[in-house]
A and B are shown apart, each in its own frame.
Chain A
């Protein structure tokens, strides 16, 4: 599936919730079920500092694709992190660079990606794109 198709899938998953509480309960569930990041990657240099919730992001580049692992100490953020990984992890740099996480807007959680929210999510998206940019440059030099 393409990034866009997965985004559409996520939007559909969320379309069933009428009450905001159900939506958040689902995010919390996703966050709870998410595999934790390997302890050895939960380190200062992988930490993306949001003011209030912390996000750790680790990546590896293999076979032209970037594999991301991430985690947050806040569950709602963690749920959103899981969704971001679902669309971006295992993709080529080009795919990552050419798509925006529009699903967050469409499921009505745009406020979590606003620059004034100090939750680390926006910084995480930026960081993923920076990695993609760096790897794209490296690949094109070869």
Chain B
């Protein structure tokens, strides 16, 4: 079945505009996705009629806001099928979610000489917090490499995990290579040795139905702005058995049970990890985005997104001198590439002149650049509102630009 993409595009008015005189082609979805009117209107309506700080007063607006905030948590819970809403912590995004775990889990469970495992394809957000934790705790960071196709070398995992390994962190989908990692298998292998697993779902949540209980992951981190929601909001899922034993990440209002100068006791989950006034406006938009996704025929859209990737890959491969980085068998709608002799910055600048938005640079993944020995890449990333016509226009633009060099 082919989805009605023009109907979907009407939900995203931002797509209907000209950039540098050309119809906008937005291929930077892995950086941030656009928001449907359903999200924008929900946030506006809330700000126009409901806004008040949460959990802190008995008045009407405060109660309505608190309800909306907690309903949003329930929506996120359902979206990822967490066992209980208290296992869903609102953060400002994937980055904060991972930092929270790296800090609080580190404080509780990591000591000098222990080991943490990440992979070679991680976004800096899933590397740096662990390095900081290792420095603090005297632990050692170990790295699971990927092969030139962009697939993790899972066969090395059994030896990499030792009785000193405390946690393993891996991306669901690579933001650079597009690889869909075999996280189920990784989790099983790690759990066999009692090692908990954090999944960086920043690029996973936009493409898949997530079921944290079926996956068995211990933590799952993702961002609202990559799943058609607002910026500044995201979530951390964590199993209660870990969260209960982890100390708070930040101190402040709302996260406490009682405070005296002698001793402070902490609030229960999830509030223990939500110090200060949370981004409840963001949370409400986040939930609206999830509801929007749930209102679509997800199977059909997933198949469509996959077709976009396949067609784009086939097209790009016809271009002489074009190299795609990451050709895993299982891939999501992300293509990083370079054209021989053309600097990605030049390519990005010229594509922009043609109304085409792509990402250029190092993709916040220096180790991936180093793996292929390049300074920069160009990335085209797709969402379900993109079309085959846009891919054709992109292909033609690249052919035309090539003649300029």
* Chain A interface residues (CB < 8 Å from chain B): 20-21, 24-25, 28, 51-54, 73-77, 112, 118-119
Q: Report the bound CA distance from A119 to B348 in whole Å.
A: 12
Distance of A71 from chain B, by nearest CB (Å): 12
Residue total for B at the interface (Cβ-Cβ under 8 A)? 17
* A73 x B404 contact (CB < 8 A): no
* A24 x B345 contact (CB < 8 A): no
| Known contacts A24-B404, A28-B405, A52-B361: A73-B343 contact under CB 8 Å | yes
Q: With an 8 A cutoff between CB atoms, is B375 at the interface?
A: yes
Q: With an 8 A cutoff between CB atoms, is B300 at the interface?
A: no
* A53 x B404 contact (CB < 8 A): no
* A75 x B346 contact (CB < 8 A): yes
* A21 x B343 contact (CB < 8 A): no
* A21 x B361 contact (CB < 8 A): no
List of A residues within 8 angstroms of B277 by Cβ: none
List of A residues within 8 angstroms of B344 by Cβ: 52, 74
* A119 x B345 contact (CB < 8 A): yes
* A25 x B343 contact (CB < 8 A): no
* B375 x A51 contact (CB < 8 A): no
| Known contacts A21-B353, A52-B376: A76-B346 contact under CB 8 Å | yes
* A24 x B376 contact (CB < 8 A): no
Nearest neighbor of B352 in chain A, beta-carbon distance: A111
* A52 x B404 contact (CB < 8 A): no
Q: With an 8 A cutoff between CB atoms, is B162 at the interface?
A: no
Q: Report the bound CA distance from A69 to B349 in whole Å.
A: 24
| Known contacts A51-B361, A52-B360, A52-B361: A25-B345 contact under CB 8 Å | no
Distance of B24 from chain A, by nearest CB (Å): 16
Distance of A33 from chain B, by nearest CB (Å): 13
* B353 x A75 contact (CB < 8 A): no
Nearest neighbor of A119 in chain B, beta-carbon distance: B345
Nearest neighbor of A50 in chain B, beta-carbon distance: B345
* A28 x B345 contact (CB < 8 A): no
Q: Report the bound CA distance from A119 to B361 in whole Å.
A: 10
Q: With an 8 A cutoff between CB atoms, is B350 at the interface?
A: yes
Known: A74-B345, A76-B343. 16 other contacts (CB 8 A): A20-B353, A21-B353, A24-B350, A25-B404, A28-B405, A51-B361, A51-B362, A52-B344, A52-B348, A52-B361, A52-B362, A53-B343, A74-B343, A74-B346, A75-B343, A76-B345
List of B residues within 8 angstroms of A54 by Cβ: 375
Q: Report the bound CA distance from A20 to B346 in whole Å.
A: 14
Distance of B234 from chain A, by nearest CB (Å): 24
Q: Report the bound CA distance from A24 to B20 in whole Å.
A: 14
List of B residues within 8 angstroms of A24 by Cβ: 349-350, 353, 404
Distance of A53 from chain B, by nearest CB (Å): 4
Q: Report the bound CA distance from A25 to B405 in whole Å.
A: 8
Q: Report the bound CA distance from A51 to B20 in whole Å.
A: 23
Question: Can you identify 9 A-B contacts, CB atoms within 8 angstroms?
Answer: A25-B404, A28-B404, A52-B348, A52-B362, A74-B345, A75-B342, A76-B346, A76-B349, A118-B361
The proximity string for B residues 366-405 relative to A, scoring 1 for CB distances below 8 Å and 0 otherwise, is 0000000001100000000000000000000000000011
Distance of A51 from chain B, by nearest CB (Å): 6
List of B residues within 8 angstroms of A52 by Cβ: 344-345, 348, 360-362, 376
| Known contacts A21-B404, A52-B361, A73-B375: A28-B346 contact under CB 8 Å | yes
List of B residues within 8 angstroms of A21 by Cβ: 350, 353, 404
List of B residues within 8 angstroms of A20 by Cβ: 20, 353
Distance of A42 from chain B, by nearest CB (Å): 14
Q: Which of B343, B348, B362 neighbours the largest number of chain A CB atoms within 10 Å of its CB?
A: B343
Distance of A4 from chain B, by nearest CB (Å): 27
Q: Report the bound CA distance from A18 to B77 in whole Å.
A: 55
List of B residues within 8 angstroms of A53 by Cβ: 343, 345
* A75 x B360 contact (CB < 8 A): no
List of B residues within 8 angstroms of A73 by Cβ: 343, 375
